[in-house]
Amino acid sequence: MEDLFATRDALAVAELVRSRQIGVREVLDATLARLREANVELNAITDFYEDELLGKSIAAAGDGPFHGIPFVVKQLMADCAGTPTTVGSRFFAKEPVALHDSAAVARMRRAGLVIAGRSNTSEFGLAPTTEPAFGGATVNPWRADLSPGGSSGGSAAVVAARALPMAHATDGGGSIRIPASLCGLFGLKPSRGRISLAPIGETLAGAGAQLCVSISVRDSAALLEALAGGEPGDPYRAPEAEGSFLEATRRSPARLRIAFLRKPVGWETMDPALVAAVEQAAKRLEVLGHHVEEAVPDYDPVATGIAFGTVMCANTFTNIQVRANGRVPGPGDLEPVTQLYAEQGGRISAHDYIRAVQTFHRTGRQLGAFFERFDILLSPTIARPSLPLGTVRMDGTLEEYEAGLAPMVAFTSVCNAAGVPAMSVPLEWTEDGLPIGMHFVARYGAEATLLSLAAQLEQAHPWRERWPGRVT
Protein backbone atom coordinates (compact mmCIF):
# COMPACT_ATOMS: atom_id res chain seq x y z
CA MET A 1 0.00 0.00 0.00
CA GLU A 2 2.96 2.33 0.56
CA ASP A 3 3.52 2.87 -3.18
CA LEU A 4 -0.16 2.72 -4.17
CA PHE A 5 -0.02 5.97 -6.17
CA ALA A 6 3.60 5.74 -7.29
CA THR A 7 2.58 4.92 -10.85
CA ARG A 8 -1.15 4.10 -10.61
CA ASP A 9 -3.54 6.93 -11.35
CA ALA A 10 -6.85 7.50 -9.58
CA LEU A 11 -8.93 5.55 -12.08
CA ALA A 12 -6.64 2.53 -11.74
CA VAL A 13 -6.90 2.52 -7.94
CA ALA A 14 -10.68 3.04 -8.13
CA GLU A 15 -10.85 -0.09 -10.26
CA LEU A 16 -8.99 -2.01 -7.53
CA VAL A 17 -11.58 -0.76 -5.05
CA ARG A 18 -14.47 -1.61 -7.37
CA SER A 19 -13.16 -5.15 -7.89
CA ARG A 20 -12.71 -5.48 -4.10
CA GLN A 21 -9.00 -6.13 -4.30
CA ILE A 22 -8.58 -3.36 -1.72
CA GLY A 23 -11.08 -1.60 0.52
CA VAL A 24 -12.07 2.07 0.70
CA ARG A 25 -10.93 2.37 4.30
CA GLU A 26 -7.68 0.57 3.52
CA VAL A 27 -6.92 3.05 0.73
CA LEU A 28 -7.92 6.01 2.89
CA ASP A 29 -5.85 5.01 5.93
CA ALA A 30 -2.75 4.31 3.84
CA THR A 31 -3.17 7.57 1.93
CA LEU A 32 -3.66 9.68 5.04
CA ALA A 33 -0.53 8.14 6.56
CA ARG A 34 1.43 8.93 3.39
CA LEU A 35 0.00 12.48 3.25
CA ARG A 36 0.92 13.19 6.87
CA GLU A 37 4.42 11.87 6.33
CA ALA A 38 4.94 13.92 3.17
CA ASN A 39 3.42 17.01 4.74
CA VAL A 40 6.18 17.21 7.35
CA GLU A 41 8.56 18.24 4.57
CA LEU A 42 6.17 19.79 2.06
CA ASN A 43 3.77 21.83 4.24
CA ALA A 44 1.14 21.31 1.55
CA ILE A 45 -1.98 20.32 3.54
CA THR A 46 -3.49 22.92 5.86
CA ASP A 47 -6.21 20.72 7.37
CA PHE A 48 -6.64 16.97 7.68
CA TYR A 49 -10.15 15.63 8.12
CA GLU A 50 -10.62 13.41 11.16
CA ASP A 51 -13.28 11.55 13.12
CA GLU A 52 -16.84 12.70 12.34
CA LEU A 53 -15.83 14.96 9.46
CA LEU A 54 -13.87 12.19 7.77
CA GLY A 55 -16.70 9.76 8.39
CA LYS A 56 -19.11 12.12 6.65
CA SER A 57 -16.75 12.31 3.66
CA ILE A 58 -16.70 8.54 3.40
CA ALA A 59 -20.48 8.35 3.65
CA ALA A 60 -20.96 11.10 1.05
CA ALA A 61 -18.75 9.46 -1.59
CA GLY A 62 -20.89 8.18 -4.43
CA ASP A 63 -20.40 5.18 -6.68
CA GLY A 64 -18.80 7.19 -9.47
CA PRO A 65 -15.62 6.67 -11.48
CA PHE A 66 -13.41 7.69 -8.53
CA HIS A 67 -15.17 5.64 -5.86
CA GLY A 68 -12.99 5.44 -2.77
CA ILE A 69 -10.20 7.76 -3.95
CA PRO A 70 -8.96 10.24 -1.30
CA PHE A 71 -8.87 13.87 -2.45
CA VAL A 72 -7.94 17.29 -1.08
CA VAL A 73 -9.66 20.55 -1.94
CA LYS A 74 -7.76 23.81 -2.25
CA GLN A 75 -8.50 26.56 0.29
CA LEU A 76 -9.84 28.82 -2.46
CA MET A 77 -12.93 29.08 -4.70
CA ALA A 78 -14.54 25.96 -3.21
CA ASP A 79 -16.44 25.40 0.03
CA CYS A 80 -16.62 22.05 1.83
CA ALA A 81 -19.46 21.68 4.34
CA GLY A 82 -18.20 21.61 7.89
CA THR A 83 -14.92 23.48 7.37
CA PRO A 84 -13.94 27.13 6.81
CA THR A 85 -12.42 28.26 3.52
CA THR A 86 -9.49 30.40 4.61
CA VAL A 87 -8.38 31.66 1.16
CA GLY A 88 -4.88 31.39 2.59
CA SER A 89 -5.46 34.36 4.87
CA ARG A 90 -5.03 34.83 8.61
CA PHE A 91 -7.96 37.26 8.55
CA PHE A 92 -10.36 34.55 7.39
CA ALA A 93 -8.90 31.60 9.29
CA LYS A 94 -11.61 31.76 11.97
CA GLU A 95 -14.51 32.25 9.61
CA PRO A 96 -17.63 30.22 10.37
CA VAL A 97 -17.57 26.82 8.72
CA ALA A 98 -19.35 26.40 5.40
CA LEU A 99 -22.89 25.07 5.77
CA HIS A 100 -22.98 23.62 2.28
CA ASP A 101 -20.64 22.27 -0.38
CA SER A 102 -19.98 24.34 -3.47
CA ALA A 103 -21.63 22.86 -6.55
CA ALA A 104 -18.34 21.47 -7.83
CA VAL A 105 -17.52 19.89 -4.46
CA ALA A 106 -20.91 18.20 -4.39
CA ARG A 107 -20.14 16.77 -7.83
CA MET A 108 -16.71 15.62 -6.62
CA ARG A 109 -18.41 13.63 -3.88
CA ARG A 110 -20.93 12.12 -6.31
CA ALA A 111 -18.00 11.06 -8.50
CA GLY A 112 -16.79 8.94 -5.57
CA LEU A 113 -14.02 11.12 -4.15
CA VAL A 114 -13.43 11.02 -0.40
CA ILE A 115 -12.45 14.54 0.66
CA ALA A 116 -9.77 14.12 3.31
CA GLY A 117 -8.39 17.65 3.75
CA ARG A 118 -7.66 21.09 2.35
CA SER A 119 -4.53 22.18 0.49
CA ASN A 120 -2.38 25.29 0.89
CA THR A 121 -2.68 28.38 -1.32
CA SER A 122 -1.27 31.88 -1.53
CA GLU A 123 -3.44 34.55 0.12
CA PHE A 124 -6.50 35.10 -2.10
CA GLY A 125 -4.59 33.23 -4.82
CA LEU A 126 -2.78 36.44 -5.73
CA ALA A 127 0.72 34.96 -6.00
CA PRO A 128 1.94 32.34 -8.52
CA THR A 129 3.73 30.69 -5.61
CA THR A 130 2.42 29.14 -2.39
CA GLU A 131 4.14 31.00 0.44
CA PRO A 132 1.37 32.51 2.56
CA ALA A 133 2.25 34.28 5.78
CA PHE A 134 -0.60 32.28 7.32
CA GLY A 135 0.59 28.68 7.40
CA GLY A 136 3.95 29.15 5.69
CA ALA A 137 5.56 28.12 2.42
CA THR A 138 4.91 24.89 0.58
CA VAL A 139 8.05 23.18 -0.72
CA ASN A 140 8.53 21.65 -4.16
CA PRO A 141 9.30 17.93 -3.73
CA TRP A 142 11.73 18.11 -6.66
CA ARG A 143 14.04 20.39 -4.63
CA ALA A 144 13.63 21.87 -1.18
CA ASP A 145 14.77 25.38 -2.15
CA LEU A 146 12.15 25.66 -4.90
CA SER A 147 8.50 26.63 -4.85
CA PRO A 148 5.92 24.29 -6.39
CA GLY A 149 4.33 27.38 -7.91
CA GLY A 150 0.87 28.63 -7.11
CA SER A 151 -1.58 29.39 -6.22
CA SER A 152 -2.46 25.65 -6.28
CA GLY A 153 0.97 24.70 -4.97
CA GLY A 154 -0.28 22.67 -2.03
CA SER A 155 -2.23 20.35 -4.29
CA ALA A 156 0.61 20.10 -6.82
CA ALA A 157 3.23 19.27 -4.18
CA VAL A 158 1.36 16.27 -2.77
CA VAL A 159 0.57 14.90 -6.22
CA ALA A 160 4.18 15.37 -7.39
CA ALA A 161 5.30 13.46 -4.27
CA ARG A 162 2.83 10.70 -5.23
CA ALA A 163 0.92 11.03 -1.97
CA LEU A 164 -2.21 11.47 -4.12
CA PRO A 165 -2.89 10.81 -7.82
CA MET A 166 -4.74 14.10 -8.29
CA ALA A 167 -5.93 17.07 -6.24
CA HIS A 168 -8.24 20.06 -6.63
CA ALA A 169 -6.79 23.20 -8.21
CA THR A 170 -8.10 26.57 -9.35
CA ASP A 171 -6.86 28.97 -12.02
CA GLY A 172 -7.39 32.72 -12.23
CA GLY A 173 -4.25 33.57 -14.20
CA GLY A 174 -2.34 30.30 -14.42
CA SER A 175 -2.75 28.71 -10.99
CA ILE A 176 -3.44 25.19 -12.29
CA ARG A 177 -0.86 25.27 -15.07
CA ILE A 178 2.02 27.00 -13.26
CA PRO A 179 2.32 24.44 -10.44
CA ALA A 180 1.69 21.61 -12.91
CA SER A 181 4.68 22.86 -14.90
CA LEU A 182 6.99 23.25 -11.91
CA CYS A 183 5.99 19.90 -10.40
CA GLY A 184 5.98 17.70 -13.52
CA LEU A 185 2.22 17.16 -13.61
CA PHE A 186 -0.65 17.45 -16.05
CA GLY A 187 -2.89 20.47 -15.51
CA LEU A 188 -5.87 21.60 -17.59
CA LYS A 189 -7.68 24.91 -17.16
CA PRO A 190 -11.17 24.41 -18.61
CA SER A 191 -13.08 26.90 -20.75
CA ARG A 192 -15.00 29.68 -19.05
CA GLY A 193 -18.29 28.27 -17.80
CA ARG A 194 -17.34 24.61 -18.27
CA ILE A 195 -17.49 23.96 -14.51
CA SER A 196 -19.93 25.95 -12.40
CA LEU A 197 -18.57 28.16 -9.63
CA ALA A 198 -21.93 28.16 -7.82
CA PRO A 199 -22.98 29.47 -5.41
CA ILE A 200 -20.82 32.42 -6.53
CA GLY A 201 -21.62 33.75 -10.00
CA GLU A 202 -18.11 34.30 -11.28
CA THR A 203 -14.63 35.19 -10.16
CA LEU A 204 -12.28 37.77 -11.68
CA ALA A 205 -14.74 38.87 -14.36
CA GLY A 206 -14.99 35.33 -15.68
CA ALA A 207 -11.24 34.61 -15.59
CA GLY A 208 -11.47 32.02 -12.81
CA ALA A 209 -11.81 28.28 -13.37
CA GLN A 210 -11.23 25.05 -11.45
CA LEU A 211 -10.36 21.40 -12.01
CA CYS A 212 -7.23 19.56 -10.73
CA VAL A 213 -3.59 18.65 -11.19
CA SER A 214 -2.98 14.97 -11.91
CA ILE A 215 -0.35 12.39 -12.80
CA SER A 216 -2.36 11.20 -15.81
CA VAL A 217 -4.32 12.84 -18.59
CA ARG A 218 -7.26 10.48 -18.22
CA ASP A 219 -7.79 11.35 -14.54
CA SER A 220 -8.18 15.02 -15.45
CA ALA A 221 -10.50 14.07 -18.32
CA ALA A 222 -12.68 11.89 -16.13
CA LEU A 223 -12.88 14.54 -13.40
CA LEU A 224 -13.76 17.19 -15.99
CA GLU A 225 -16.55 14.93 -17.19
CA ALA A 226 -17.82 14.53 -13.63
CA LEU A 227 -17.73 18.25 -12.81
CA ALA A 228 -18.76 19.77 -16.16
CA GLY A 229 -22.12 21.42 -16.55
CA GLY A 230 -23.93 24.47 -15.33
CA GLU A 231 -26.14 25.29 -12.39
CA PRO A 232 -29.33 27.38 -12.54
CA GLY A 233 -28.48 31.04 -12.98
CA ASP A 234 -24.84 30.62 -14.01
CA PRO A 235 -23.64 33.73 -15.89
CA TYR A 236 -21.58 31.64 -18.34
CA ARG A 237 -22.00 28.17 -19.77
CA ALA A 238 -19.52 26.53 -22.14
CA PRO A 239 -20.94 24.83 -25.24
CA GLU A 240 -21.96 21.21 -24.85
CA ALA A 241 -19.04 18.87 -25.41
CA GLU A 242 -19.16 16.63 -28.45
CA GLY A 243 -18.89 13.26 -26.76
CA SER A 244 -17.02 12.13 -23.70
CA PHE A 245 -13.88 13.89 -22.44
CA LEU A 246 -12.56 10.56 -21.21
CA GLU A 247 -13.24 8.97 -24.58
CA ALA A 248 -11.22 11.78 -26.21
CA THR A 249 -8.12 10.47 -24.42
CA ARG A 250 -8.58 7.08 -26.08
CA ARG A 251 -8.31 8.33 -29.63
CA SER A 252 -5.52 10.07 -31.52
CA PRO A 253 -6.31 13.58 -32.66
CA ALA A 254 -6.63 14.44 -36.33
CA ARG A 255 -3.66 16.24 -37.89
CA LEU A 256 -3.57 19.52 -36.02
CA ARG A 257 -2.43 22.96 -37.15
CA ILE A 258 -0.08 24.01 -34.34
CA ALA A 259 1.54 27.41 -33.92
CA PHE A 260 4.42 27.87 -31.50
CA LEU A 261 6.02 30.82 -29.70
CA ARG A 262 9.75 31.27 -28.96
CA LYS A 263 9.00 34.01 -26.43
CA PRO A 264 5.99 35.64 -24.78
CA VAL A 265 4.01 38.05 -26.94
CA GLY A 266 5.60 41.49 -26.57
CA TRP A 267 8.86 40.19 -25.09
CA GLU A 268 12.26 40.60 -26.73
CA THR A 269 13.95 37.42 -25.51
CA MET A 270 13.46 34.34 -23.36
CA ASP A 271 15.77 31.97 -21.47
CA PRO A 272 17.64 29.89 -24.11
CA ALA A 273 16.80 26.68 -22.23
CA LEU A 274 13.11 27.42 -22.65
CA VAL A 275 13.54 28.29 -26.33
CA ALA A 276 15.29 24.96 -26.84
CA ALA A 277 12.51 23.18 -24.93
CA VAL A 278 9.71 24.60 -27.05
CA GLU A 279 11.65 23.87 -30.25
CA GLN A 280 12.10 20.27 -29.08
CA ALA A 281 8.39 20.03 -28.30
CA ALA A 282 7.58 21.35 -31.78
CA LYS A 283 9.76 18.61 -33.29
CA ARG A 284 7.97 15.98 -31.22
CA LEU A 285 4.65 17.21 -32.57
CA GLU A 286 5.90 17.09 -36.16
CA VAL A 287 7.02 13.49 -35.65
CA LEU A 288 3.47 12.70 -34.53
CA GLY A 289 2.20 14.03 -37.86
CA HIS A 290 1.00 17.50 -36.93
CA HIS A 291 1.63 20.67 -38.95
CA VAL A 292 3.80 23.01 -36.86
CA GLU A 293 4.91 26.56 -37.62
CA GLU A 294 5.95 29.67 -35.72
CA ALA A 295 3.14 32.24 -35.46
CA VAL A 296 2.22 34.98 -33.00
CA PRO A 297 -1.38 35.85 -32.02
CA ASP A 298 -2.34 39.49 -32.42
CA TYR A 299 -3.35 40.93 -29.06
CA ASP A 300 -2.03 43.67 -26.79
CA PRO A 301 -0.27 42.04 -23.79
CA VAL A 302 0.25 45.39 -22.06
CA ALA A 303 -3.45 46.28 -22.22
CA THR A 304 -4.40 42.79 -21.11
CA GLY A 305 -1.98 42.98 -18.18
CA ILE A 306 -3.33 46.37 -17.09
CA ALA A 307 -6.88 45.01 -17.33
CA PHE A 308 -5.88 42.03 -15.19
CA GLY A 309 -4.46 44.34 -12.54
CA THR A 310 -7.68 46.34 -12.46
CA VAL A 311 -9.85 43.24 -12.17
CA MET A 312 -7.63 41.64 -9.53
CA CYS A 313 -7.48 44.75 -7.36
CA ALA A 314 -11.21 45.46 -7.57
CA ASN A 315 -12.08 41.85 -6.81
CA THR A 316 -9.65 41.72 -3.89
CA PHE A 317 -11.25 44.81 -2.34
CA THR A 318 -14.80 43.59 -2.91
CA ASN A 319 -14.20 40.00 -1.81
CA ILE A 320 -12.64 41.16 1.45
CA GLN A 321 -15.60 43.45 2.09
CA VAL A 322 -18.14 40.72 1.36
CA ARG A 323 -16.38 37.93 3.27
CA ALA A 324 -15.55 40.15 6.25
CA ASN A 325 -19.26 40.92 6.78
CA GLY A 326 -18.50 44.19 8.54
CA ARG A 327 -15.18 43.21 10.15
CA VAL A 328 -12.24 45.49 9.37
CA PRO A 329 -8.77 43.95 8.83
CA GLY A 330 -6.32 45.08 11.48
CA PRO A 331 -2.52 45.36 11.35
CA GLY A 332 -1.02 42.09 10.15
CA ASP A 333 -4.37 40.55 9.20
CA LEU A 334 -3.55 40.78 5.49
CA GLU A 335 -0.23 40.42 3.69
CA PRO A 336 1.23 43.75 2.48
CA VAL A 337 0.57 43.16 -1.24
CA THR A 338 -2.97 41.96 -0.52
CA GLN A 339 -3.54 45.11 1.53
CA LEU A 340 -2.11 47.30 -1.24
CA TYR A 341 -4.25 45.54 -3.86
CA ALA A 342 -7.36 46.04 -1.75
CA GLU A 343 -6.61 49.73 -1.19
CA GLN A 344 -6.01 50.22 -4.91
CA GLY A 345 -9.16 48.26 -5.69
CA GLY A 346 -11.24 50.54 -3.52
CA ARG A 347 -10.22 53.48 -5.71
CA ILE A 348 -11.11 51.87 -9.05
CA SER A 349 -14.06 53.50 -10.77
CA ALA A 350 -16.90 51.64 -12.49
CA HIS A 351 -15.67 53.18 -15.74
CA ASP A 352 -12.19 51.68 -15.32
CA TYR A 353 -13.57 48.28 -14.36
CA ILE A 354 -15.87 48.16 -17.38
CA ARG A 355 -12.97 49.08 -19.66
CA ALA A 356 -10.94 46.23 -18.16
CA VAL A 357 -13.73 43.74 -18.82
CA GLN A 358 -14.05 45.08 -22.36
CA THR A 359 -10.32 44.47 -22.81
CA PHE A 360 -10.85 40.86 -21.73
CA HIS A 361 -13.59 40.48 -24.34
CA ARG A 362 -11.53 42.14 -27.07
CA THR A 363 -8.63 39.81 -26.28
CA GLY A 364 -11.01 36.87 -26.52
CA ARG A 365 -12.10 37.94 -29.99
CA GLN A 366 -8.49 38.37 -31.09
CA LEU A 367 -7.57 34.89 -29.91
CA GLY A 368 -10.75 33.60 -31.51
CA ALA A 369 -9.57 34.94 -34.86
CA PHE A 370 -6.15 33.30 -34.33
CA PHE A 371 -7.84 29.95 -33.75
CA GLU A 372 -9.59 30.21 -37.08
CA ARG A 373 -6.12 29.62 -38.58
CA PHE A 374 -4.69 27.23 -35.96
CA ASP A 375 -6.02 24.50 -33.71
CA ILE A 376 -3.35 24.83 -31.01
CA LEU A 377 -0.89 27.43 -29.70
CA LEU A 378 2.28 25.98 -28.11
CA SER A 379 4.74 27.68 -25.74
CA PRO A 380 6.44 26.98 -22.42
CA THR A 381 4.00 27.31 -19.54
CA ILE A 382 6.11 29.87 -17.68
CA ALA A 383 8.92 32.15 -18.81
CA ARG A 384 11.48 30.88 -16.33
CA PRO A 385 12.85 27.34 -15.81
CA SER A 386 12.30 27.19 -12.03
CA LEU A 387 11.02 29.27 -9.11
CA PRO A 388 13.24 29.60 -6.02
CA LEU A 389 11.35 30.21 -2.81
CA GLY A 390 11.12 33.92 -2.05
CA THR A 391 11.18 35.04 -5.70
CA VAL A 392 7.62 36.40 -5.70
CA ARG A 393 7.28 38.61 -2.63
CA MET A 394 3.98 39.43 -0.94
CA ASP A 395 5.71 41.39 1.84
CA GLY A 396 7.23 44.19 -0.22
CA THR A 397 6.16 46.78 -2.76
CA LEU A 398 3.76 46.30 -5.64
CA GLU A 399 6.65 46.89 -8.03
CA GLU A 400 8.64 44.02 -6.49
CA TYR A 401 5.60 41.74 -6.55
CA GLU A 402 4.74 42.54 -10.16
CA ALA A 403 8.34 42.02 -11.29
CA GLY A 404 8.23 38.51 -9.83
CA LEU A 405 4.77 37.87 -11.23
CA ALA A 406 5.43 38.88 -14.86
CA PRO A 407 7.42 35.86 -16.11
CA MET A 408 5.10 33.46 -14.29
CA VAL A 409 1.94 34.54 -16.13
CA ALA A 410 3.42 35.73 -19.44
CA PHE A 411 1.88 32.79 -21.33
CA THR A 412 -1.00 31.78 -19.08
CA SER A 413 -3.07 34.80 -18.05
CA VAL A 414 -4.27 35.70 -21.55
CA CYS A 415 -6.15 32.38 -21.58
CA ASN A 416 -8.04 33.41 -18.46
CA ALA A 417 -8.87 36.81 -19.93
CA ALA A 418 -10.19 35.17 -23.09
CA GLY A 419 -11.83 32.24 -21.32
CA VAL A 420 -10.19 29.62 -23.55
CA PRO A 421 -8.97 26.19 -22.38
CA ALA A 422 -5.26 25.60 -21.88
CA MET A 423 -3.07 22.88 -20.40
CA SER A 424 0.45 22.29 -19.12
CA VAL A 425 2.05 18.99 -20.14
CA PRO A 426 5.31 17.72 -18.50
CA LEU A 427 7.01 17.16 -21.82
CA GLU A 428 10.51 18.63 -21.41
CA TRP A 429 13.20 18.73 -18.68
CA THR A 430 16.11 20.95 -17.66
CA GLU A 431 19.69 19.67 -17.79
CA ASP A 432 19.59 19.07 -14.05
CA GLY A 433 16.37 17.07 -14.26
CA LEU A 434 13.65 19.58 -13.34
CA PRO A 435 10.36 19.47 -15.25
CA ILE A 436 9.48 22.08 -17.89
CA GLY A 437 5.80 22.21 -18.68
CA MET A 438 4.71 22.85 -22.24
CA HIS A 439 1.65 25.05 -22.62
CA PHE A 440 -1.06 24.24 -25.15
CA VAL A 441 -4.02 26.54 -25.84
CA ALA A 442 -7.12 25.79 -27.94
CA ARG A 443 -10.23 27.61 -29.06
CA TYR A 444 -13.12 28.15 -26.66
CA GLY A 445 -14.86 24.91 -25.79
CA ALA A 446 -12.19 22.65 -27.31
CA GLU A 447 -11.07 20.74 -24.21
CA ALA A 448 -11.54 17.45 -26.07
CA THR A 449 -8.92 18.47 -28.64
CA LEU A 450 -6.44 19.31 -25.88
CA LEU A 451 -7.11 16.07 -24.00
CA SER A 452 -6.74 13.96 -27.14
CA LEU A 453 -3.41 15.63 -27.96
CA ALA A 454 -2.21 15.33 -24.35
CA ALA A 455 -2.98 11.61 -24.29
CA GLN A 456 -1.10 11.17 -27.56
CA LEU A 457 1.93 12.95 -26.07
CA GLU A 458 1.63 10.97 -22.84
CA GLN A 459 1.77 7.72 -24.79
CA ALA A 460 4.67 8.87 -26.97
CA HIS A 461 6.67 10.47 -24.14
CA PRO A 462 5.51 8.99 -20.80
CA TRP A 463 6.18 11.03 -17.70
CA ARG A 464 4.34 9.16 -14.93
CA GLU A 465 7.37 7.23 -13.70
CA ARG A 466 9.52 10.36 -13.64
CA TRP A 467 8.91 11.86 -10.22
CA PRO A 468 10.93 13.12 -7.22
CA GLY A 469 12.93 10.27 -5.79
CA ARG A 470 12.45 8.14 -8.90
CA VAL A 471 13.81 10.00 -11.92
CA THR A 472 14.20 7.65 -14.91
Query: Are the CB atoms for 215 and 162 separated by under 8 Å?
Result: yes
Judge whether 263 counts as a catalytic residue: no
**SS3 (DSSP) at 154:** helix
Query: Are the CB atoms for 193 and 416 separated by under 8 Å?
Result: no
Query: One of 102, 119, 147, 151 is an active-site residue; which one?
Result: 151
H or E element that contains 116: strand 114-119
Query: One of 175, 181, 196, 413 is an active-site residue; which one?
Result: 175
Query: One of 57, 74, 119, 386 is an active-site residue; which one?
Result: 74
Find all residues with CB under 8 Å of 111, minimum gap 6, and list them: 62, 64, 65, 66, 223, 226, 227
* Beta-carbon count within 10 A of 347 CB: 10
Residue among 33, 6, 30 nearest 17 (CA)? 30
Residue among 126, 124, 128, 155 nearest 43 (CA)? 155
Find all residues with CB under 8 Å of 151, minimum gap 6, and list them: 74, 76, 88, 121, 122, 125, 126, 127, 128, 129, 130, 170, 172, 175
Judge whether 94 counts as a catalytic residue: no
Query: Are the CB atoms for 129 and 409 separated by under 8 Å?
Result: no
Judge whether 175 counts as a catalytic residue: yes
Say if strands 257-260 and 376-380 run parallel, antiparallel, or are unpaired: parallel
Q: Give me the active site residues, please.
A: 74, 151, 175
